[in-house]
Amino acid sequence: MTQLNERIALVTGGSRGIGRGIALELAKRGATVVVNYQRNAEAAEEVVTQIVADGGKAQAVQADVSLEEDVNRLVKTAVDAYGKIDILVNNAGTTRDNLIMRMSAEDFDTVLETNLRSTWLCSKAVVRDMMRKRYGRIVNITSVSGIMGNGGQTNYSASKAGIIGLTKALARELASRGITVNAVAPGFVATDLTATLPEDIAKKINENIPLGRWATIEDVALATAFIASDEASYITGHVLNVDGGLAM
C-alpha cells in the first residue's frame, strides 16, 4: 500500500460520499487529514472520529469553498495547525440538474461556483507554500460528465469540463516546482443517494458500462490516493477515468 506518512492533506467536501471515502483512505495510509465541510458538522466530526479511532490524525474545518475569504481561512487554519499542506483534494461539488429551457441562471451559477470556482480558489490558496517547498499534489475530482456531456446537466458538465481545463493549465504552470496536478473522473458511483434508483434504470445504466457495474466510493478513493502519492510523481496533467470503461 502506498504510504503517505507525515503528509498533510486537505479534502474539500470531505464529510460525505466520495470526499468522506477519500479522507478515510488518505488517513489509512498515514496522512493527517483536514476534513472540510460546508453545513454538516456532525457528519464531518464522524469522519474525524473514525480516523482518530483507527489511529490517525484529523480535524474538521467549516468553510464555503466558493468564497475566497472562507478558503483563505480554511487554508490558514490547516497551516497553523500542521505547518503545511502537501495534498489538496478538490472534491466539493453540487448539482442542480434540469433541461436548459428550465434551468435558472442562479442554478447555473451555483454549480459553476461550487464546483469550478472552488477548485480554482483552493488551488490558488495552497500553491504559494507548495512552490516554496517544491512539493505538492493537487487532485481535482471531475466527472465523465465533463468528458462526454450529460443531458440535463449543462451546468454540471460545463463545471466538470472546466475543472479538466484548469487541471491541465495548472499542471503546466507548476511542473517546474515539483507540484503535480491531476484529475480523477468518476463515472456512476454507488452511494446512499443512488441506492434508491429504480432497478430498471440502474440496469439500463449498467448496459452502457463495459465492466457492468457502478464504481464504489472505494474505487474512487484508491485512485485518488495513488495520484496523491510519491509513486505518481511522474504523472501530471492527467485525467484518470474511474468509470468502468464508460467514457472510452
Q: Which residues are catalytic?
A: 156
Q: In whole angstroms, give the CA distance from residue 46 to residue 193.
A: 19
- Using alpha carbons, select from 93, 77, 95 the residue that is nearest to residue 10: 77
3-class secondary structure for the chain? CCCCCCCEEEECCCCCHHHHHHHHHHHHCCCEEEEEECCCHHHHHHHHHHHHHCCCCEEEEECCCCCHHHHHHHHHHHHHHHCCCCEEEECCCCCCCCCCCCCCHHHHHHHHHHHHHHHHHHHHHHHHHHHHHCCEEEEEECCCHHHHCCCCCHHHHHHHHHHHHHHHHHHHHHHHHCEEEEEEEECCECCCCHHHCCHHHHHHHHHCCCCCCCECHHHHHHHHHHHCCHHHCCCCCCEEEECCCCCC
